Amino acid sequence: MKKSINENFRRTFQVLSYIQYPLMLLALFYSIKPYLKGFDYLIENPDILLKNYNYVLIFMGLGISFSTLQDTTKMQNEFSRKIWSDPKKGKIAILLICVMIILFLSYGIFGYFITENENIRELSFGSIVFGIGLIGFLKTALDVFDNHRRD
């Protein structure tokens, strides 16, 4: 039986969603990298912390963006099933995602355009990328919620 073009595209995007894992590992690496040289080095160079956290936000935002390519009709784990099948918990999760989007984008936009500090501007850019990734995640969360709720 021949697969339709739509099914082939869907399968391709699901395979591409696995790019999220190396991106999240990069984010994890950059989150611990400042501490690898020791706290004395960190105290002498505090700006290195902000630069690395900028990379953390960028790679997490990209990873979350790729995670939205997953199949929303399938549940990933039991923890997700408990949240998305319960209408009350699902609405709370969606509300929390919305609050996170507002916070990260607000910080990113205000920090990027208002401050003169270059380190804060870099961190703001990472915050904007992370917020944009969360917007895609919100769309996926809404689809998962619609596909799996019990009411």
pLDDT, one tens digit per residue, over 59-77 is 999 999 999 998 888 877 8
pLDDT at 41: 85
72: enclosing H helix or E strand:
none
pLDDT at 2: 60
Residues in CB range of 27: below 8 A, 6 or more apart: 55, 56, 57, 59, 60, 63
Please say if the pLDDT value at position 1 is more than 60: no
Are 143 and 67 spatial neighbours (Cβ–Cβ below 8 Å)?
Answer: no
pLDDT at 24: 97
Residue boundaries of the structural domains of the chain? 5-148
pLDDT tens track for 101-128: 999 999 999 999 998 888 899 999 999 9
Contacts for 83-86 with beta carbons within 8 Å, 24 or more apart?
Answer: 84/141, 84/144, 84/145, 84/147, 84/148, 84/149, 85/148, 85/149, 85/150, 86/149, 86/150
**What's the whole-number average pLDDT of the chain?**
91
Q: pTM for this one?
A: 0.87
CA–CA dist 128, 105 (Å, integer): 5
CA–CA dist 58, 148 (Å, integer): 30
Q: Which residue, 113, 130, 122, is CA-closest to 51?
A: 122
pLDDT at 151: 73
